[in-house]
Structure 1
Amino acid sequence: MLFDLQDSDTLYRALLERDTRFDGQAYVGVTSTGIFCRLTCPARKPKYENCRFFASVGECIEAGFRACKRCHPLAPMATADPAIANLLSALEKRPEFRWREADIEAMGYDLSTVRRSFKRQFGMTFLEMARHRRLRDGFEALSEGSKVIDAQLDAGFESASAFRSAFARLLGRAPGSLGKSGLLLADWIKTPLGDMIAISSATHLHLLEFIDRKALKSEISAIERAVKGGLGLGSYAPTEQIREELEAFFAGRSAGFSTPLALNGTPFQREVWRALQRIPPGVTRSYSQIAHEIGRPAATRAVARANGANQLALVVPCHRVIGADGSLTGYGGGLWRKQRLLELERHYKTLDQSA
């Protein structure tokens, strides 16, 4: 059932009171800043005359508003849960803090409940999210030329072994083995749907994945074998280009990606990935439809496997493939991201139809 948007007076009162009943059902666009927020946003409240209210994220973007960086309206509708909202706020205030289970309990929350809530909403636990945040700080420090020990301490890792272990889980190697040179360079990209890792050569983008992608480590190893080159920290021109294009995509300005891509896969996989690139924003296809499009009508399962093996999230839009019955089916970046991406891209479909 579609949500019947309330009148502006009711919604403005909900904004002032941070009423969680409206979370995910109404959004406010602030004309004085060009930002749109959840009604539960902790930021300073705008004047009534500067507010426009919308029923969906897509409507906000279509009206020209950008997502708020405090309440993250593109992320899952999790702030209706006070525990999640408070823990996210605490993490934002102290990103370098080394969180433990005892700290969560000290805030009055049940560990198993918090664990289930974060796994359901974000695909990871709160402690995993906090480690990723600290790891990002360490990654960025190393990319800027800091020594490993300095990056470790700045990121809140008390021991060198913990820092090495965190890097190994993400990239498959210790931070000391990653210099600022290499045939491939890895860099961290922040997006409204979570942090991503981009790996590029001097000429092509080879990988773009959300950092919680379970297959990330094996994907990186496969790319190194394919190009016969080592991995360093930093960015080449393709990474900077995709960073700008992602910013434009999430801001609602453009769904076009022109960054040169390296499709590292079998001939069949590359054929499927090129078919994915032909799916317009705001449009979905089933695995069977893709199989017919490439002239392999009996290869539906192989198409699904190739779709899952895609290493270039968003730019090779495997999120636009859904089940024949209309269900979202799986997505390596998490179903909540897939749902958000499809909602965002409806805006671009509307633009194409009005052009």
Structure 2
Amino acid sequence: MELTKILMYKAIVEKDTSFEGVFFTAVKTTGIFCRPSCTARKPKIENVEFFETTKECVLKGYRPCKICDPLKKLHETPSEIQEILQELRDNPAFKFKDYDIRQRGIDPNKIRRWFLKNHGITFQAYQRMFKINSAFKRIQDGDRVTNTAYEMGYESLSGFGESFKNIFGVSPIKGKQQSVIDLKRIETPLGTMVACASSQGLCLLEFTDRRMLETELKSISRLLNATIIQGHNPFFEQLEMELDEYFEGRRTEFSVPLHTPGTAFQNKVWTSLRAISYGSTKSYKAQAESIKNPESVRAVANANGMNRIAILIPCHRVIGSDGRLTGYGGGVWRKKYLLELEQKYRNEITPRTS
């Protein structure tokens, strides 16, 4: 027996939380997988398999444990960082320095590492982007450029102008002709997602490991003639609330407004996707027939693939004519999980749409 298996088994017996996210335990006799720290009764070592990811567990046919809930937002933003982000939303003009972070009981190195790992930028860069985004919105709302610059903490108009132009490509005076798309990282039981929203509604929701994500971000920026930048958007709060309810089996439809730029045909296809009821599936051919275009199965499939709003526009409910779970941008394993989630709850809950 390999040494690593002995160490991992020792970790689950001791319910060692330091191994959280490192591996998952799957029990052959029950068909269930758990976190290392699960408090459930421990199986014999010969009945255990170890996997690095929840994806591997699901693909092997294992179900998540109801006691430790291994799919529950494993990489959720730590509470102390959530508090700092809330302070930043409340007062984007404030600049957090290492001293301010230490005063809140946080090691500055920890927050630096977290932002680099999860946002790909430093915390200071995040602050700068958030502040310039907030300034942009104030100008859009009619505030004078001079007032905005100084009230947002800039020491000079020239410095503000340079920062503004670096991000938006124009001077602050011409800012009213520009548009912005807010971006936020969102945690779900199936992994981290990127959400984008305009002033009209949610325009993108994708898993961060989707291969087409960068292409989709460039596309949505071009279609809306807007700059994508880290920022707060009121639609994000509604989205996170509704996603939580969906994954907990308490919501069958979403009501957060959507902004779906695309061709008339694409929007017709995306509307037909939203008409597929919770817990149900439809083949590409049946979907094509539903929009009275039965000869365009390939075109319908292509339009489904261009859907930029996962889960809410439920392309995961479309399957092959033979019942197979065909291509899904977030991965077939996620498609399988979403369908099983909906089938599990569809007869247990009263549809919630608002």
Query: If the TM-score is normalised by the length of the shorter chain, which range does it land in?
Result: 0.5 to 0.7
| SS of residue matched to 1:188 | strand
| SS of residue matched to 2:194 | strand
Letter in 1 for 2:130: G
- 1:35 aligns to what? none
Match runs of 1:261-340 below 5 Å = 261-340=258-337
Is the Cα–Cα contact under 8 Å of residues 273 and 313 in structure 2 kept in the other structure?
A: yes
Letter in 2 for 1:154: K
Is the Cα–Cα contact under 8 Å of residues 28 and 49 in structure 2 kept in the other structure?
A: no
Shift of residue 44, structure 1, vs aligned partner: 3.2
Shift of residue 81, structure 1, vs aligned partner: 3.5
Q: TM-score, normalised by structure 1?
A: 0.58
- Which of 82, 97, 118 is matched with 2:50 structurally? 82
Q: Structure 2 CA distance, aligned partners of 1:254 and 1:283?
A: 15
Is the Cα–Cα contact under 8 Å of residues 250 and 349 in structure 2 kept in the other structure?
A: no
Is the Cα–Cα contact under 8 Å of residues 194 and 204 in structure 2 kept in the other structure?
A: yes
Q: Deviations over 1:151-170 (max 9, x none)?
A: 99435659x9xx599739xx
Shift of residue 266, structure 1, vs aligned partner: 1.2
Q: Deviations over 1:102-131 (max 9, x none)?
A: xxxxxxxxxxxxxx969x78xxxxxxxxxx
| SS of residue matched to 1:263 | coil
| SS of residue matched to 1:195 | strand
Is the Cα–Cα contact under 8 Å of residues 206 and 308 in structure 2 kept in the other structure?
A: yes
Structure 2 alignment gaps of length 5 or more? 1-12, 16-23, 42-46, 61-73, 102-106, 134-178
Is the Cα–Cα contact under 8 Å of residues 22 and 39 in structure 1 kept in the other structure?
A: no
Instruction: Please say if 1:167 is aligned against 2:120.
Output: yes
Letter in 2 for 1:82: F
| SS of residue matched to 1:82 | strand
Is the Cα–Cα contact under 8 Å of residues 183 and 230 in structure 2 kept in the other structure?
A: yes
Letter in 1 for 2:50: P
- Which of 200, 203, 206 is matched with 2:200 structurally? 203
Instruction: Please say if 1:25 is aligned against 2:25.
Output: no
Q: Structure 1 CA distance, aligned partners of 2:303 and 2:351?
A: 34
Shift of residue 264, structure 1, vs aligned partner: 1.8
- TM-aligned CA distance change 1:217 to 1:153, over 3 Å: farther
Match runs of 1:1-355 below 5 Å = 20-22=26-28, 25-26=31-32, 38=33, 42-45=37-40, 81-82=49-50, 84=52, 144=88, 153-154=109-110, 157=113, 163=116, 167=120, 178-180=129-131, 181=133, 183-351=180-348
Q: Deviations over 1:262-321 (max 9, x none)?
A: 112111111100000000011101111111111111110111111111100000000000
| SS of residue matched to 1:331 | coil
- TM-aligned CA distance change 1:164 to 1:253, over 3 Å: closer
Q: Deviations over 1:56-115 (max 9, x none)?
A: xxxxxxxxxxxxxxxxxxxxxxx9542527xx9xxxxxxxxxxxxxxxxxxxxxxxxxxx
Q: Which has the larger radius of gyration?
A: 2
Is the Cα–Cα contact under 8 Å of residues 286 and 324 in structure 1 kept in the other structure?
A: yes
Q: TM-score, normalised by structure 2?
A: 0.58
What's the C-alpha RMSD, in Å, of the aligned pairs?
4.2
**How many equivalent pairs are there?**
247
Is the Cα–Cα contact under 8 Å of residues 287 and 300 in structure 1 kept in the other structure?
A: yes
Q: Structure 1 CA distance, aligned partners of 2:258 and 2:26?
A: 42
| SS of residue matched to 1:198 | strand
Is the Cα–Cα contact under 8 Å of residues 184 and 199 in structure 1 kept in the other structure?
A: yes
- TM-aligned CA distance change 1:222 to 1:152, over 3 Å: farther
- TM-aligned CA distance change 1:23 to 1:244, over 3 Å: farther
| SS of residue matched to 1:179 | helix
Shift of residue 20, structure 1, vs aligned partner: 3.8
- TM-aligned CA distance change 1:283 to 1:320, over 3 Å: same
Is the Cα–Cα contact under 8 Å of residues 180 and 198 in structure 2 kept in the other structure?
A: yes
Is the Cα–Cα contact under 8 Å of residues 25 and 36 in structure 2 kept in the other structure?
A: no
- TM-aligned CA distance change 1:234 to 1:23, over 3 Å: farther
